[in-house]
Structure 1
Amino acid sequence: MTVAEPLFGSLLPEIVTSPPGGVSRHLAKRLRSVESRNITYFDVGWPIFWKEASGSNVRDVDHNLYIDLSGAFGVALIGHAHPRVVHALQAQGEELIHGMGDIHPPVRKVELIERLCGIAPWVDAQAVLTTTGSEAVEVALKTARIATGKPGIVAFRGGYHGLTMGALAVTDRAHFRSYFEDQLYKGVSFAPFPECNDVSRVTADETLGLLRAAFQQGAPNGDPIGAVIVEPVQGRAGVRIPPDGFMAALSDMAMEEGAMVIADEIFTGLGRCGSMLASERLGLRPDIVCIGKVFGGGLPLSACLSSQSVLSAWPENDGEAIHTSTFLGNPLSCATALAVLDVVEHLDVPERAEVLGSQLLSELQDSLRGAERVSEVRGCGLMIGIELVTDDGSPWKGGAVRVAEAALAQGLILLPAGEHGHVVELTPSVFLTEDQATHSLGVLSSIIQKIH
């Protein structure tokens, strides 16, 4: 019997020219001349320009073949160009490409919202479709303000919720905020985010005490607090996982204080952390949920979900919606999202993420035990972080950037995370093959053990 050759999507890396190759370098030169210098990161070994992708493979314009361990910012949980998603996109493209979301909606908008409400944690769920994660957060913040009448917000140190003005106000990173600080809403209190394996910074009880004080004192500008926004697992901060019981206690406190809990599940939702929503496994009981990334299957789509009792605080549309956008309910995005939900539910993606994530985490912890630059390897489902430190135990600033560049040269795409660029972050597809996983972990472990 002839053994079939592995297909593009399940292949091991093949580097034919040291990345970035000549075509990528030429494209980089062209891009630098026409794009704002703030947008794309350029360095000696960065970036490559993608030509095609499928499953866990990416091929660049110089014909180098890579394994994508980043999931393209966490989007490709079910792999790049999943056949169901591609079919849905092609079929919808032949029928209707654009609609009038809040005036004359496309059919797919109705179908998607019905489907989405079926997996939400409320029996009377409703949704607002949005385009980006930041926009979903904006809708969530507006919803909490309208529903509670209290504009103040509690957010967390290390939290990332987007870079539009409302979302940026609750994002904790001076790098993003500094140029716009005088334009940001001043009614945000930032609390420390406790971590399950690190009480050197703050314990859960200490954080809860600070939260209670914030509720009692109000926001820095004096506004009463009506919302707490939190990532169940902090993604961009470096896969920071809260201790058991913290999220449940946070939910209890918010309810007692008459505030709404907004779960930012843009990164963690739809199976990435081993459950449909990470809130479920961590005990968080949100009033509002934001989802995105995985949701659109590669197309720009996000959503803000809540119960009818909460969303009914918004006024009835009298012919002019007070929050809407041109591409709300775009039929192409809705069609791909329906296909994504088919895959997530029918192929039990959350369970696959839990099993594969546990396997990768265990193998990395074993292979990196004793590595001088590694302080911790942690994970939740298919979100894994490898924290790098210097000789004195402080964050190794830029260490994960160096690892990512070395990995790219050997055919692995991954991203640095953490405020100091000191956490190697892995968010691969659930369909990463055994051979791809074994190869990737071997290469990555070798790089981390040797790099100085």
Structure 2
Amino acid sequence: MLPEIITPIPGPRSRELAGKLRRHESQNVTYLAEDFPVFWQRAAGTNVWDADGNRYLDLTSAFGVSGLGHTNPQVRAALVAQSADLLHAMGDVHPTAVKTELCAQLSALTFERWGAGPGKVVLGNSGSDAIEAALKTSLLYTGNAGVIAFTGAYHGLGLGALSTVGIPFFREPFRTQLKEFATLLPYPFGPAGDMLRLRKELVATIQRRAIGCILVEPIQGRGGCVVPPAEFLPMLRTVCDEYGLLLVLDEIYTGFNRTGALFACEDSKVVPDIVCLGKALTGGFPLSACVGRADVMDAWPPSSGEALHTTTFLGNPLGCAMALAALAEHARPAVAAQVQASGQRLKSALEKMRSPHIWNVRGRGLMLGVELIKADGAPFTDLAIAIVTRALQDGLLLLADGPASNVLSITPPFSIDDEEIAFVAARLQEYLTALPGSIS
């Protein structure tokens, strides 16, 4: 459904809640201003309602989590059924059957489906957990601590994962606490990326440092929806094979049909050694997974009764039940087909917009970005932020991504329809034309 605004935004209840949050939450967590944010109350499908009753069209899928739609009926039913029996278990001591089933299903949908034999799983609570499990696995398997990652990368903010993040804003305040085990190389952009030059840089780094793995997003998400050349992942696979490295794919954002394939790496026909998953894995519960080839994951020693890498909530039965329901939906070919079709219509509508500040419209499936620049080619951060703020007044939930926050990130639930697409394109065109600074 299209947005419906019935009170000023933010409304009185949202403003009241913002005041309470300002008093009691760390000031670095939630951005609070006179015109931002609103407070979510409930959600269904492509829509979110705030605490004041306003209805929004969600173009974020809540950070990519709700691809199957907010409060997806199948996922919600699994949650309700599981909650009647068991809310919590002891995941690495006395686990549940549902954790066992989830690990088996993750293996089936990844390495078994790719023809690479069984996979083994380390579950976690966040994408950052999955990355750090992969980094530890790489060290145990190869004996080498070094990692090659890429500029613009976002792999989570735990201190281990943060060492591989290629966005300076997140790294710099904590640099003195970070162990510099990662080498950041330039992430290639578009079909014209220089693969020969990048390959030389990769090889030079491998010869200079003891590298265990290459960690990469098939399409960068927080980095601004950057789509690399088609040759990029195959080249990384070849380099890893030649030099005995692990290829670790961060599919936390791109996984589970976001790009129109169950996993984004499948478009390149590249099979990783480890894949990190999260976000849409459950459709709304904090659960992640590091899944690797069995021989790679068996670098971890058998448990002696004390796990080397675990959490209190590992394999929480609520999350596992939701994940099994979500995976059953994602495994249906019709879901990928829906994303491909809706993504083509949405991208076409965005490409028809006219503004001297649109550098490009890029992405795949329903993971799209509109990059905004000034007349001199510099990132137009102010315009992107102004659009995000103005869109909120019209009932559109948007984010600005990229290292300079100048890329409008558009990642709606998969069920976005033609009327909603037309509404989005019309509103964005209006903002690009009318907002202060939009014609500077």
Give the shorter-chain TM-score range: over 0.9
Offset of residue 107 of structure 1: 1.3
Offset of residue 229 of structure 1: 0.3
Task: Note if 1:420 corresponds to 2:430.
Answer: no
- Letter in structure 2 aligned against 1:413: L
Structure-2 residue corresponding to 1:146: 140
Among 436, 440, 447, the alignment partner of 2:420 is 436
Aligned ranges for residues 18-167 of structure 1 at < 5 Å? Answer: 18-121=8-111, 122-167=116-161
Among 361, 367, 371, the alignment partner of 1:383 is 367
Structure-2 residue corresponding to 1:367: 353
Structure-1 residue corresponding to 2:264: 278
Offset of residue 26 of structure 1: 0.9
Deviations 1:219-255 (A, max 9, x none): xxxxx00111000000001100001111101110111
For residues 401 and 74 of structure 1, the distance between their equivalents in structure 2, rounded to whole angstroms, comes to 19
3-state SS, counterpart of residue 212 of structure 2: strand
For residues 368 and 13 of structure 2, the distance between their equivalents in structure 1, rounded to whole angstroms, comes to 32
Offset of residue 44 of structure 1: 2.5
- Letter in structure 2 aligned against 1:244: A
For residues 215 and 284 of structure 2, the distance between their equivalents in structure 1, rounded to whole angstroms, comes to 25
Structure-2 residue corresponding to 1:253: 239
For residues 174 and 36 of structure 2, the distance between their equivalents in structure 1, rounded to whole angstroms, comes to 28
- Letter in structure 1 aligned against 2:409: E
Among 190, 195, 201, the alignment partner of 1:204 is 195
For residues 107 and 72 of structure 2, the distance between their equivalents in structure 1, rounded to whole angstroms, comes to 23
Offset of residue 284 of structure 1: 3.3
Q: State the TM-score, normalizing by the size of structure 1.
A: 0.94
Structure-1 residue corresponding to 2:182: 188
Structure-1 residue corresponding to 2:248: 262
- Letter in structure 2 aligned against 1:127: V
Aligned ranges for residues 311-322 of structure 1 at < 5 Å? Answer: 311-322=297-308
Among 268, 275, 285, the alignment partner of 1:289 is 275
- Letter in structure 1 aligned against 2:150: F
Of the structure 1 ranges 289-298 and 275-284, higher mean CA displacement relative to structure 2 is found in 275-284
Structure-2 residue corresponding to 1:411: 395
Task: Note if 1:228 corresponds to 2:214.
Answer: yes
For residues 399 and 170 of structure 2, the distance between their equivalents in structure 1, rounded to whole angstroms, comes to 18
Large movers: runs of 4+ above 6 Å:
none
Structure 1 runs not aligned, ≥5 long: 1-10, 219-223
Task: Note if 1:400 corresponds to 2:405.
Answer: no
Is the Cα contact below 8 Å between 1:158 and 1:419 reproduced in 2?
A: yes
3-state SS, counterpart of residue 405 of structure 2: coil
Offset of residue 347 of structure 1: 6.0
Identity %: 41
Among 305, 311, 334, the alignment partner of 1:348 is 334
For residues 271 and 206 of structure 2, the distance between their equivalents in structure 1, rounded to whole angstroms, comes to 18
Offset of residue 118 of structure 1: 0.7
Is the Cα contact below 8 Å between 2:167 and 2:223 reproduced in 1?
A: no
Task: Note if 1:237 corresponds to 2:246.
Answer: no
Offset of residue 205 of structure 1: 2.3
Deviations 1:158-197 (A, max 9, x none): 0000000100000012211122101112121110001115
Is the Cα contact below 8 Å between 2:254 and 2:263 reproduced in 1?
A: yes
For residues 285 and 113 of structure 1, the distance between their equivalents in structure 2, rounded to whole angstroms, comes to 19
CA RMSD of aligned residues (A): 1.2
For residues 398 and 234 of structure 1, the distance between their equivalents in structure 2, rounded to whole angstroms, comes to 22
Is the Cα contact below 8 Å between 2:10 and 2:36 reproduced in 1?
A: yes
